[in-house]
């Protein structure tokens, strides 16, 4: 039979009492359960005071994450702005883009870019278009034609503007060729067939897929590989990654795809957000490790204090 | 083996290189006591009754050697291949112009005009590839109307080694302006590099056009049994042959007064680089600037103030032909040499790479290790032989000093043999190899190379005082020596010149001497002036941060192999 005991009765040290006070202030009451065998378990009861009605304690971890991220971001943004060196890991996939365009230049063939198959409201499409700007700039520098194939009309319009601006920035506005900006079809497989047609007819030397892709990923990547093109892919759709990895020369995996924007732009705000997210992940990694250690310790050496800490950790994160 | 030397007579008042050749041969006659020249000062050929020679070969670096301008479409692809072809032929590449060199058109044209090269190598596009980019490069040449450095009244030779389909266009654009020589494409497809035809054309044109303009070379050409080659080209040829015949990886370095040449053969691929501003006399100031004072000073075990070191370096710049007179001068010179060699090797590593822009076949297992193309070929663990050449290495007061300089600068891994070129005979043997390959190889191994010995260096994390390696040295004469190598130590084991030994190496866990981490390794090595050096200093070599401790450590290492006597 388990007997609930209010935490105040079990708190033995001043540290325990301090933790209890903090927990209470957040509307959490810690209750320890003692069994007849002497083993301890703990549970929390939410005792939300009236004046705390605006706070959903159930979403406390989200709030803490947001605050931590915000703090990291602001700190890193300020530091990066005043000249702290940016620390971004080399992304072979992004470095390979220039090599892919150079290959197309030597071969006298165009570069094909596909900004995914989703509309502009998808964050992956936006990330893909950011990379398109970089690709268009390099293609203009090398004086190599760039073909952009889109599934959505809005994406096409934005891509046109991006390529136009990048060509102008590279000092070669003539490298923007309106006929090379192509809307194929809103239908997924009609679009895929259209892209495959471009690959086989115009034989681009490099195919770059950056955005959201679904089942067409393998068809596209396989056709590109068969046509002898260097291929660089990037998507956050985990299910499509194995196909891209197997059929492409380089693949930006998951978050690398979003980090590519920071890598390319070197914009302090984007770099700071990437680094802040990384630091947040570090914090969570440490919390997980501490949690595992605490849970193991509670199991091995049952103690009300350790149980309290573990329960509190669970509540906060 | 004898050597005779005489100053060049390419300039006034002689204006004839053969005068200098005859002077050098006369010195040889005095040294050997054999008559080699007839009354008219011509070589007696073929040899007869104890006089004359069977063959005469020559290399040339007159007027600073063959100076070339290289052009290609993309810097890292066809332009790099063209550069490799030019360097492999023994040329000095003055500049590389390409579509993506980020220079404006007028700057590129201006540069071509300023350079006045001996020859241009134009490449670009694979066969069936871009024509427009190649045409643009040809138009740059047309706009610049370059003139040759030597001689007047002859058209500048241009080797075209690009897209076959662009030949007609290039001919149309450059017709009448330069002397076009078409050869096979250096990159017929991006996956293949074909440097041979371009290199041969460069050698041929060097003889026909460039050398023809130098005074006395027409006479010299008639004297030689094999075509005259640019000196570095001949060295490269020899290194290539040695590596091929023995099936080994070779690194050759020639550290001169103004430049340092690095030659390598890894995985059967030959590469040469010229570090134009790294040398021991004219360019010594640049070594100090490029490496940084601290990097040079870290190798000095004499306590000299910074201003003193700088003054000595500046003295060397002012009087480039002087040699060190004091021990301090020697230590500083050898510290500079280490840095010049280190930087040259770094540049070489960046250039000697696998081909860029090739399609890569992957599997899902590659998801987290997506290596890119253009990886360096230089693998110090794979390296079998280092050949040092140039005054500071070949004429170091003790061979131990040459060994230590090469080990410190190149940081070889595993088991590597060391040797130096005795009297800079390699270029001549390179040409001799064209007509008598066996004789060239025999002379190379017997007389040209001065064997220094071998170095054994485990790769991996090295902790001072930790046991790194257990080694057993079984010499041919039956004697056996066993030793334990400890982190931070340098140990020398005697193995005389002409002797061989079988090494059995058992590295500690996590360390590699050639067969993988912690794996036992057996190697057969030849001895030399130094013997076998076991290097437990780690890679990169760990030097104490404190200056006094560092000097103490350097002195300890120098004493361990007897670099400055006991």
Quote ipTM for the complex. Answer: 0.79
Q: What is the CA radius of gyration of chain B?
A: 25
Count of Cβ atoms closer than 10 Å to residue A53 Cβ: 9
Are residues A246 and B187, on separate chains, in Cβ contact within 8 Å? Answer: no
Two tokens, residue B317? 């710049």
Interface contacts (A, B; CB < 8 Å) = 89
Sheet of strand B521-526, all strands in order from the earlier edge strand to the far edge: B480-486, B467-475, B500-507, B521-526
Nearest to B182 by CA among B196, B192, B167, B172: B167
Are residues A108 and B364, on separate chains, in Cβ contact within 8 Å? Answer: no
Tell me the whole-structure pTM to 2 decimals.
Answer: 0.80
Search chain B and give the residue with CA nearest A97: B357
Percentage of chain A with pLDDT > 90? 52
| Residues A242-260: tens digit of each pLDDT | 899 889 988 988 888 888 8
Look over chain B and give the mean of its residue pLDDT values, rounded to a whole number: 90
Burial class (CB in 10 A: 0-12, 13-18, 19+), B66: buried
Length of chain A: 317
Q: What are φ and ψ of residue B98, in 5° steps? A: -150, 170
Nearest to B161 by CA among B234, B79, B105, B217: B79
* Minimal CA separation from B367 to chain A, in Å: 6
Nearest to B67 by CA among B185, B206, B200, B161: B206
Look over chain A and give the mean of its residue pLDDT values, rounded to a whole number: 85
Nearest to B495 by CA among B466, B457, B524: B524
Domain residue extents for chain B: 17-54, 62-219, 260-276+373-560
| Three-state DSSP class for residue B417 | strand
Give domain A92-265's CATH number out of 3.40.50, 3.20.20, 1.10.3470, 2.60.40. Answer: 3.40.50
Q: Is the dihedral of CA B367, B369, B374, B377 positive or negative?
A: negative
| Three-state DSSP class for residue B483 | strand
The β-bridge relationship of strands B385-389 and B414-421 is: parallel
Are residues A251 and B370, on separate chains, in Cβ contact within 8 Å? Answer: yes
Q: Which of A92, A241, A248 sits opposite B372 (nearest CB)?
A: A92
Q: How confident is the model at residue A1 (pLDDT cuts 50, 70, 90)?
A: very low
HEC per residue, B257-271: CCCEEEEEEECCEEE
Are residues A249 and B362, on separate chains, in Cβ contact within 8 Å? Answer: yes
Are residues B372 and A103, on separate chains, in Cβ contact within 8 Å? Answer: no
Q: Is A251 on the interface with B (CB under 8 A)?
A: yes
* Minimal CA separation from B372 to chain A, in Å: 7
Cis upstream peptide for B46 (omega within 30°): yes
Give Cα A214 to chain centroid, integer Å. Answer: 18
Are residues A99 and B190, on separate chains, in Cβ contact within 8 Å? Answer: no
Are residues A96 and B372, on separate chains, in Cβ contact within 8 Å? Answer: yes
* Minimal CA separation from B429 to chain A, in Å: 38
Range name among A112-116, A176-180, A307-311, B389-393 with the lowest pLDDT average? A307-311
Q: What are φ and ψ of residue B163, in 5° steps? A: -50, 125
Query: For residue A59, what pLDDT is reported?
Result: 78
The DSSP letter of residue B116 is -
Dist. CA A307–CA A250, nearest whole Å: 48
Query: For residue A32, what pLDDT is reported?
Result: 55
Count of Cβ atoms closer than 10 Å to residue B120 Cβ: 28
Nearest to B534 by CA among B415, B380, B401, B388: B415
In chain A, which residues have their Cβ closer than 8 Å to the Cβ of B371? 92
Residue listed under structure tokens 């090599």 = A99
Give Cα B515 to chain centroid, integer Å. Answer: 28
Q: Is A106 on the interface with B (CB under 8 A)?
A: yes
Q: What are φ and ψ of residue A193, in 5° steps? A: -65, -40
* Minimal CA separation from B526 to chain A, in Å: 42
Search chain B and give the residue with CA nearest A253: B367
HEC per residue, A113-171: EECCCCCCCCHHHHHHHHHHHHHHHHHHHHCCCEEEEECCHHHHHHHHHHHHHHHHHCC
Are residues A245 and B366, on separate chains, in Cβ contact within 8 Å? Answer: yes
Q: Which of A95, A106, A249 sits opposite B190 (nearest CB)?
A: A106
| Residues A72-88: tens digit of each pLDDT | 999 999 988 888 777 77
Inter-helix orientation angle A123-142/A255-265, to 10°? 50
Dist. CA B288–CA B313, nearest whole Å: 8
Q: Is A238 on the interface with B (CB under 8 A)?
A: no
Q: Which of A100, A101, A108, A240 to mutate to test the interface with B (most CBs of B within 10 A)?
A: A108
Q: What are φ and ψ of residue B105, in 5° steps? A: -55, -45
Give Cα B161 to chain centroid, integer Å. Answer: 24
What DSSP string runs through chain A? --EEEEHHHH--SHHHHHHHHHHHHTTEEEEEEE-TTS-EEEEEEE---GGGTT--GGGHHHHHHHHHHHHHHHHHHHHHHTTPPP-----HHHHHHHHHHHHHHHHT--EEEE--SS-TTSHHHHHHHHHHHHHHHHHHHHT--EEEEESSHHHHHHHHHHHHHHHHHTT-GGG--GGGEEE--SSHHHHHHHHHHHHHHH--SEEEEES---THHHHHHHHHHHTT-EEEEEES-GGGHHHHHHHSSEEEETHHHHHHHHHHH--HHHHHHHHHHHHHHHHHHHHHHHHHHHHHHHHHS--HHHHHHHHHHHHH-
* Minimal CA separation from A253 to chain B, in Å: 8
Are residues A105 and B130, on separate chains, in Cβ contact within 8 Å? Answer: yes
Domain residue extents for chain A: 3-57+278-316, 92-265
In chain A, which residues have their Cβ closer than 8 Å to the Cβ of B133? 105, 108, 143
The DSSP letter of residue B251 is E
Dist. CA A233–CA A250, nearest whole Å: 6
Q: Which of A93, A108, A109 sits opposite B370 (nearest CB)?
A: A93
Are residues B133 and A241, on separate chains, in Cβ contact within 8 Å? Answer: no
What DSSP string runs through B155-205? PPEEEE-S-GGGHHHHHHHHTTTSEEEE---S-SBTTB---HHHHHHHHHH
In chain A, which residues have their Cβ closer than 8 Å to the Cβ of B78? 106
Query: For residue B73, what pLDDT is reported?
Result: 96
Alpha helices, DSSP H only, in B319-376? 327-351
* Minimal CA separation from B28 to chain A, in Å: 53
* Minimal CA separation from A165 to chain B, in Å: 19
For chain B, which residues score pLDDT lower than 70? 62-64, 151-152, 367, 566
Search chain B and give the residue with CA nearest A138: B100
Query: For residue B474, what pLDDT is reported?
Result: 96
* Minimal CA separation from B353 to chain A, in Å: 14
| Three-state DSSP class for residue B473 | strand
| Three-state DSSP class for residue B551 | helix
* Minimal CA separation from B192 to chain A, in Å: 13
Q: Which of A99, A105, A245 sits opposite B367 (nearest CB)?
A: A245
Nearest to B390 by CA among B288, B466, B278: B278
| Three-state DSSP class for residue B385 | strand
Residue listed under structure tokens 């400055």 = B564
Degrees (nearest 5) of the Cα angle B346, B347, B349? 65
Are residues B370 and A106, on separate chains, in Cβ contact within 8 Å? Answer: no
Query: B62-219 domain in CATH 3.40.50.360?
Result: yes
Dist. CA A6–CA A45, nearest whole Å: 10
Nearest to B70 by CA among B61, B79, B57: B79
Search chain A and give the residue with CA nearest B372: A92
Q: Is A170 on the interface with B (CB under 8 A)?
A: no
The DSSP letter of residue B471 is E
Are residues A246 and B73, on separate chains, in Cβ contact within 8 Å? Answer: no
Residue listed under structure tokens 């380089």 = A250
Q: Which of A94, A106, A108, A226 to mutate to test the interface with B (most CBs of B within 10 A)?
A: A106
Search chain A and give the residue with CA nearest B124: A106
In chain A, which residues have their Cβ closer than 8 Å to the Cβ of B76? 99, 102
Half-sphere exposure of B56 (CA within 13 A, CB side): 20
pLDDT reading at A234 higher than 70? yes
Search chain A and give the residue with CA nearest B99: A142
Q: What are φ and ψ of residue B106, in 5° steps? A: -65, -30
Are residues B367 and A99, on separate chains, in Cβ contact within 8 Å? Answer: no
In chain B, which residues have their Cβ closer than 8 Å to the Cβ of A100? 357
Burial class (CB in 10 A: 0-12, 13-18, 19+), A179: exposed
* Minimal CA separation from B141 to chain A, in Å: 19
Q: Which of A230, A246, A253 sits opposite B359 (nearest CB)?
A: A230
Are residues B364 and A246, on separate chains, in Cβ contact within 8 Å? Answer: yes
The residues on B that touch A, with CB distances below 8 Å, are: 73-74, 76-78, 99-100, 124-126, 128-133, 163, 187, 190, 356-357, 359-360, 362-364, 366-368, 370-374
Are residues B131 and A143, on separate chains, in Cβ contact within 8 Å? Answer: no
């Amino acid at each position: 039979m388990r007997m609930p005991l209010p935490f105040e009765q079990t708190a033995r040290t001043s540290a325990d009492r301090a933790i209890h006070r903090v927990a209470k202030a957040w509307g959490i009451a810690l209750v320890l359960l003692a069994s007849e065998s002497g083993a301890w378990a703990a549970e929390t009861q939410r005792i939300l005071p009236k004046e705390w009605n605006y706070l959903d304690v159930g979403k406390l971890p989200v709030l803490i994450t947001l605050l931590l991220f915000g703090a990291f971001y602001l700190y890193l943004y300020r530091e990066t702005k005043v000249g702290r060196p940016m620390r971004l890991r080399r992304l072979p996939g992004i470095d390979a883009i220039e090599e892919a365009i150079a290959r197309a230049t030597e071969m006298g063939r165009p570069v094909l870019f596909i900004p995914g198959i989703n509309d502009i409201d998808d964050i992956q499409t936006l990330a893909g278009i950011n990379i398109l700007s970089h690709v268009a700039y390099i293609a203009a520098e090398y004086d190599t034609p760039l073909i952009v194939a889109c599934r959505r009309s809005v994406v096409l319009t934005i891509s046109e503007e991006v390529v136009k601006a990048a060509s102008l920035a590279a000092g070669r506005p003539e490298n923007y060729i309106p006929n090379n900006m192509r809307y194929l079809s809103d239908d997924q497989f009609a679009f895929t067939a259209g892209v495959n047609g471009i690959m086989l007819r115009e034989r681009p030397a490099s195919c770059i897929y950056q955005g959201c892709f679904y089942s067409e990923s393998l068809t596209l990547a396989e056709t590109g590989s068969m046509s002898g093109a260097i291929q660089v892919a990037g998507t956050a759709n985990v299910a499509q990654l194995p196909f891209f990895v197997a059929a492409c020369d380089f693949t930006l995996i998951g978050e690398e795809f979003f980090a590519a924007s920071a890598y390319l732009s070197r914009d302090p705000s984007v770099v700071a957000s990437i680094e802040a997210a990384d630091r947040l992940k570090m914090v969570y990694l440490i919390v997980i490790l501490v949690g595992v250690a605490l849970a193991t310790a509670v199991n091995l050496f049952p103690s009300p204090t350790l149980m309290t800490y573990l329960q509190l950790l669970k509540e906060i994160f | 083996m004898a050597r005779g030397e005489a100053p060049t007579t390419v300039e006034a008042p002689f204006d004839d290189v053969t005068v200098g050749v005859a002077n050098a041969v006369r010195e040889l006659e005095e040294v050997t006591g054999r008559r080699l020249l007839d009354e008219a000062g011509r070589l007696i050929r073929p040899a007869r009754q104890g006089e004359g020679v069977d063959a005469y070969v020559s290399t040339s670096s007159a007027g600073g050697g063959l100076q070339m301008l290289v052009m290609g479409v993309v810097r890292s692809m066809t332009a790099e291949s063209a550069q490799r072809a030019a360097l492999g032929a023994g040329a000095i590449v003055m500049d590389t112009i390409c579509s993506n060199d980020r220079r404006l058109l007028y700057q590129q044209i201006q540069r071509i005009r300023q350079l006045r090269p001996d020859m241009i190598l134009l490449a670009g596009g694979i066969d069936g590839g871009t024509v427009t980019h190649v045409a643009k490069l040809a138009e740059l040449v047309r706009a610049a109307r370059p003139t040759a450095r030597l001689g007047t009244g002859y058209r500048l030779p241009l080797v075209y080694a690009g897209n076959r389909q662009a030949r007609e266009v290039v001919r149309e654009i450059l017709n009448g302006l330069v002397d076009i020589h078409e050869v096979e494409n250096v990159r017929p497809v991006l996956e293949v590099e074909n440097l041979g035809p371009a290199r041969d054309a460069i050698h041929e044109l060097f003889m026909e056009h460039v050398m023809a303009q130098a005074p006395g070379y027409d006479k010299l050409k008639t004297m030689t049994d094999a075509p005259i080659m640019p000196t570095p080209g001949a060295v490269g040829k020899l290194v290539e042959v040695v590596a091929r015949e023995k099936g080994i990886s070779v690194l050759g370095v020639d550290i001169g007064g103004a430049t340092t040449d690095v030659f390598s053969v890894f995985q059967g691929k030959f590469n040469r680089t010229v570090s134009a501003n790294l040398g021991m006399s004219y360019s010594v100031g640049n070594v100090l600037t490029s490496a940084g004072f601290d990097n040079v000073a870290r190798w000095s075990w004499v306590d000299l103030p910074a201003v003193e070191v700088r003054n000595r370096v500046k003295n060397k710049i002012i009087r480039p032909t002087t040699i060190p007179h004091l021990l301090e001068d020697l230590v500083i010179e050898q510290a500079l040499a280490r840095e010049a060699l280190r930087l040259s090797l770094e540049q070489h590593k960046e250039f000697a790479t696998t081909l860029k822009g090739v399609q890569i076949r992957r599997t899902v297992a590659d998801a987290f290790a997506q290596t890119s193309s253009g990886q360096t070929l230089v693998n110090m663990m794979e390296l079998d032989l280092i050949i040092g050449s140039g005054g500071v290495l070949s004429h170091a007061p003790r061979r131990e000093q040459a060994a230590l300089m090469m080990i410190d600068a190149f940081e070889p891994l595993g088991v590597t043999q060391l040797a130096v070129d005795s009297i800079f005979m390699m270029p001549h043997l390179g040409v001799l190899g064209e007509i008598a390959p066996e004789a060239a190889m025999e002379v190379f191994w017997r007389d040209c190379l001065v064997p220094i010995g071998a170095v054994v260096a485990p790769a991996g994390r090295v902790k001072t005082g930790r046991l790194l390696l257990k080694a057993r040295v079984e010499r041919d004469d039956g004697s056996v020596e066993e030793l334990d190598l400890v982190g931070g130590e340098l140990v020398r084991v005697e193995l005389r010149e002409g002797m061989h030994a079988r090494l059995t190496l058992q590295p500690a866990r996590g360390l590699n001497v050639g067969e993988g981490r912690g794996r036992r390794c057996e190697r057969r090595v030849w001895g030399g002036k130094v013997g076998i050096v076991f290097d437990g200093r780690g890679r990169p070599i760990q030097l104490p941060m404190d200056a006094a401790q560092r000097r103490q450590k350097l002195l300890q290492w120098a004493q361990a192999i007897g670099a400055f006597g006991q």
